Structure 1
């Protein structure tokens, strides 16, 4: 638990870190865990990871570990569990670029703050995210290897762009929180959304209601590939938009 105590802010620190891809690795498992701050993740690294960390609370210095077992690299970047909370002058920003040429499982945990996860062009196989309090965007628009997505939404607004050209079936499991969830869905492949009833409203654009909490797009059953989305609704509003 994060105890309520004002952090001792110091001079702003700016650190960079590059983690090369170990020799012999043909897949990676990456965990990013940020307690407080702003998180930006995207593709574009020629190494396994390039990162820029900016913070002014010494206890928030990121901890990085890398293990290599068989042909898999396990990388963890985490913010220590310091007993502090955000003050007006506290700052903590991570800007992370990941490799685009090795199959990847990615796990992201964000506590208090905003997250912008532009994961297009990453060779993702599986993605799991757990969000806390804040605004978040998640882009999955060019990830042909992706098979499964799991999202735990916290408190705030979340936008997820799933308008990729999927080459096989994809399963997305989303647990709604408190706030607004917006999903951008593809038109060229079949889409099936199963939504449980929560407290709030559900708005659909470009989907047909089949009954029983099931919505599909016009391409459903017309293509060999289907995006299957299950939403466990929370408190707030859900927007489902096809195309756009």
Structure 2
């Protein structure tokens, strides 16, 4: 496929679950656009990838050790990729039923992480340059721990209504827009936090950018 004068390659990949009862997934995108959404069915992952530089071609590696699946998606060699305008789009769907430890590393990338209805065990995100939206709305049966390292750019977190939620940061709350939440000491919580025995708790490491919290539906 050709956009203007830029030739863009595309490929799709599906990963099938064998015996895994839990999953660790690592998505490492150096530049471009990352979109993560829930996946119904028995597949571990469905991914559609578009890229204009061969060095950006992602490798999809999946192994199982006993009952744990390990998924890694990353370019083979991105160390020498410049910040010029390349096409690099990842559309990744992850199984929403299996317990998931999700790790995301985004360099100069825009990320949309939709975790509604997923079975998250833990979340760790390292964000570089670019905007990020993390959607935690929807119905949650249990909470989890998350660590978010924010870089440059805007980070938007859509907060759930049906489960307790708490956000804390080492640098205070000055850069956080949070009109929908309550401040308790150096933390932000929703209305259900104090009565929730298993909340979602986020530790936020603030960078240069801005963080916006919005109460979801």
- For the pair 1:140 / 2:115, whether they are aligned, the reply is yes
CA–CA separation in structure 2 for the residues paired with 1:19 and 1:125 = 15
SS in 2 for 1:221: helix
Q: Which of these two proteins has the greater Rg computed from alpha carbons? A: 1
Measured against aligned partners, the alpha-carbon deviations of 1:18-51 in whole angstroms (never above 9, x if no partner) come to 34333x3433433333333333333256543333
- Residue number in structure 1 paired with 2:33: 38
Counterpart for residue 66 of structure 2: 70
Cα distance, 1:136 vs structure 2:
1.9
* Larger RCO (CA within 8 A; separation ≥ 6): 2
Structure 1 residues 199 and 73, CA gap change in structure 2 (3 angstroms): closer
Q: Structure 1-normalised TM-score?
A: 0.71
Q: Cα–Cα, structure 1 residues 180 and 95, in superposed 2: closer, same or farther, change >3 Å?
A: closer
1:15–1:52: 8 Å Cα contact kept in structure 2? Answer: yes
Q: Over aligned residue pairs, what C-alpha RMSD do you find?
A: 2.9
Q: Could you list the runs of 5+ residues in structure 1 that have no partner in the other structure?
A: 1-8, 101-120
Aligned length: 211
Q: How far apart, CA to CA, are the structure 1 residues paired with 2:14 and 2:216? A: 37
Structure 2 unaligned blocks of 5 or more: none
Q: How does 1:217-232 map to 2 (within 5 A)?
A: 217-232=190-205
1:158 aligns with 2:136: no
Q: Is 1:241 aligned with 2:201?
A: no
Residue in structure 1 matched with residue 24 of structure 2 by the alignment = 29
Q: Give the Cα separation in 1 of the matches to 2:102 and 2:83.
A: 28
Q: CA deviation at 1:11?
A: 4.5
1:6 corresponds in structure 2 to none
Match of 2:181 in 1: 207
Q: SS of the counterpart of 2:154?
A: strand
1:171 paired residue among 122, 133, 145: 145
- Residue 49 (structure 1) aligned to one of 36, 45, 63: 45
**Residues 76/181 of structure 1: CA separation in 2 closer, same or farther (3 Å cut):** closer
Offset at residue 164 of structure 1 (A):
3.4
